């Protein structure tokens, strides 16, 4: 319906614009003018054409009578007969009056007929409008029901949103409290962090000092360990030297005893030889004395080997030599032995084994002879004549 109304308004505006372009005035209603407008129907168009033809006939009648004032009072003449009517000659006054009355009657009848037709058309339009309005009302009622349901749903959503908003407000308040607590805790933590950083700096300085002290202590410990090791080695060396000196002294003592025993045995052997030499000279016709070899062997078991081993390991050559020389000088055995052997003569000395020969042979050895064993496992003997 609104579209139809808009279309009618647009058509009226277009007609008015066309009339203004043609230099014509739009129709106006007054006491002497009657304008009937028909729209939107074939029957109405026919009635409009009949009205125009009737008005044209009335205008022609007034033109014949010559009453142009009445013709001008009728209004603007429209239709195809307008130029001919305008150029017609004026009619007499009586005739013009009759035509005016006839025209008035005709116009009245045409107006009534047009009004009746217009009323019927308006009734039809009204019925159509009412039907359309009923449909619109039903659509509006349905739309209103939908809007009511939507309104209820929106109200329910609004209530839910209000509840959620209240819950969110409570949560927001709780979160704000937590944020405030966290802010205060953050301040405390920052203060503690600063204190811890200061403590870490102090600990780093202390650690550096402790590391320096540890390095000094390690160096001192190494020095002390080295000194202790040197002292321990020196003490052990002194103990070894004392033990070696004691062993050398004991060995020299045993050697002196062995030399004394050997001297006694040599003296006994010499006395026996002298007795044997003297006996044949006293016997008449006896055999002349025979020359023999005198072998003196001094045996000291394990003495030389032990002494040389200790001397090579302990480095006590000087102490051993000093001990042997001192013992030999104090005992005075070696000179007496040499003197006794020299007195017997070269003919009676076959092979004399001296002490330095014992050292070269590595100790050990033995001889067949008679005699007693010396102290310390040593022993000696003098072989008799063969």
| Domain that residue 95 falls in | 2-18+32-151
Q: Which of 121, 151, 181 is the last residue of a domain?
A: 151
Q: Which residues contact 296 (CB under 8 A, 6 or more apart)?
A: 262, 265, 266, 352, 353, 382
Is 247 in the same domain as 369?
yes
How far apart (Å, rounded) are the C-alpha atoms in residues 365 and 216? 61
**91-107: per-residue pLDDT in tens?**
567 777 777 777 777 77
Q: Above 60 in pLDDT, residue 159? A: yes
| Helix (H/G/I), strand (E/B), else coil: 381 | strand
180: in domain: no
Measured distance CA(253)–CA(273) in Å, rounded: 30
Asked if residue 170 belongs to a domain, the reply is no
pLDDT for res 170: 92
Measured torsion, CA atoms of residues 339, 340, 343, 347, in degrees rounded to the nearest 10: -120
CA distance 250 to 234: 24
What pLDDT, in 10s, does the model give residues 176-199?
999 988 888 888 888 888 888 888
218 assigned to some structural domain: no
Are 259 and 370 in a shared domain?
A: yes
Q: How many domains does the chain have?
A: 2
Both 147 and 253 in one domain: the answer is: no
- Is 133 a domain residue? yes
Of 132, 151, 170, the domain-final residue: 151
Query: Edge to edge, what strands does the sheet with 379-382 contain?
Result: 349-352, 294-299, 379-382
Question: For residue 24, what is the enclosing H or E element?
Answer: none
Between helix 317-331 and helix 93-282 the angle, nearest 10°, is: 20
Residue 320 resides in a domain: yes
Q: Which residue has the higher pLDDT, 124 or 141?
A: 141
Pairing of strands 349-352, 294-299: parallel
336 to 12, 53, 159, 266, 343: CA distances (angstroms) = 182, 203, 144, 11, 10
Per-position DSSP letters for 81-99, written without gaps between them = THHHHHTSPPPPHHHHHHH
Total-model pTM: 0.23
From 151, 182, 202, the end of a domain falls on 151
Three-state DSSP at 25 gives coil
Q: Is residue 203 part of a domain?
A: no
User: Would you say residue 234 lies in a domain?
Assistant: no
> Is the same domain home to 265 and 367?
yes
Same domain, yes or no, for 142 and 265?
no
With a CB cutoff of 8 Å and minimum separation 6, the contacts of 72 are: none
pLDDT tens per residue across span 308-345: 555 555 544 555 556 655 665 555 555 555 555 555 55
Smallest Cα–Cα separation from 57: which of 97, 85, 16, 15?
Answer: 85
């Amino acid at each position: 319906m609104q579209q139809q109304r808009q279309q009618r308004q647009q058509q009226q505006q277009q007609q008015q614009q066309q009339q203004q372009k043609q230099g014509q005035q739009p129709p106006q209603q007054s006491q002497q003018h009657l304008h009937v407008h028909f729209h939107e129907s074939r029957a109405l168009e026919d009635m409009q054409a009949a009205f125009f033809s009737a008005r044209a006939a009335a205008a022609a009648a007034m033109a014949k009578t010559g009453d142009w004032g009445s013709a001008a009072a009728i209004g603007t003449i429209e239709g195809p007969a307008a130029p001919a009517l305008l150029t017609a000659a004026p009619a007499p006054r009586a005739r013009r009056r009759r035509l005016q009355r006839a025209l008035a009657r005709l116009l009245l009848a045409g107006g009534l007929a047009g009004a009746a037709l217009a009323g019927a058309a308006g009734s039809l339009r009204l019925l159509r409008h009412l039907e359309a309005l009923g449909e619109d009302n039903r659509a509006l009622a349905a739309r209103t029901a939908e809007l009511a349901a939507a309104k209820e749903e929106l109200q329910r959503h609004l209530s839910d949103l209000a509840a959620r908003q209240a819950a969110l407000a409570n949560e927001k308040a709780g979160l704000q409290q937590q944020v405030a607590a966290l802010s205060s805790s953050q301040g405390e933590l920052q203060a503690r962090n600063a204190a811890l950083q200061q403590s870490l700096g102090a600990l780093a300085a202390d650690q550096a000092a402790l590391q320096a002290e540890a390095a000094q202590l390690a160096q001192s410990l190494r020095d002390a360990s080295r000194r202790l090791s040197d002292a321990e080695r020196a003490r052990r060396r002194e103990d070894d030297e004392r033990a070696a000196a004691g062993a050398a002294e004991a060995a020299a003592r045993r050697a002196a005893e062995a030399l004394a025993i050997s001297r006694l045995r040599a003296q006994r052997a010499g006395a026996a030889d002298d007795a044997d030499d003297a006996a044949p000279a006293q016997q008449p016709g006896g055999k002349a004395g025979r020359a023999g070899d005198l072998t003196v062997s001094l045996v000291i078991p394990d003495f030389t080997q032990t002494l040389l081993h200790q001397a090579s390991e302990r480095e006590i050559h000087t102490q051993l030599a000093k001990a042997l020389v001192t013992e030999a000088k104090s005992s005075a055995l070696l000179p007496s032995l040499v003197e006794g052997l020299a007195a017997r003569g070269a003919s009676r000395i076959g092979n004399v084994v001296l002490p330095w020969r014992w050292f070269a042979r590595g100790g050990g050895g033995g001889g067949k002879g008679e005699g007693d064993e010396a102290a310390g496992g040593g022993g000696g003997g003098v072989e008799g004549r063969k």
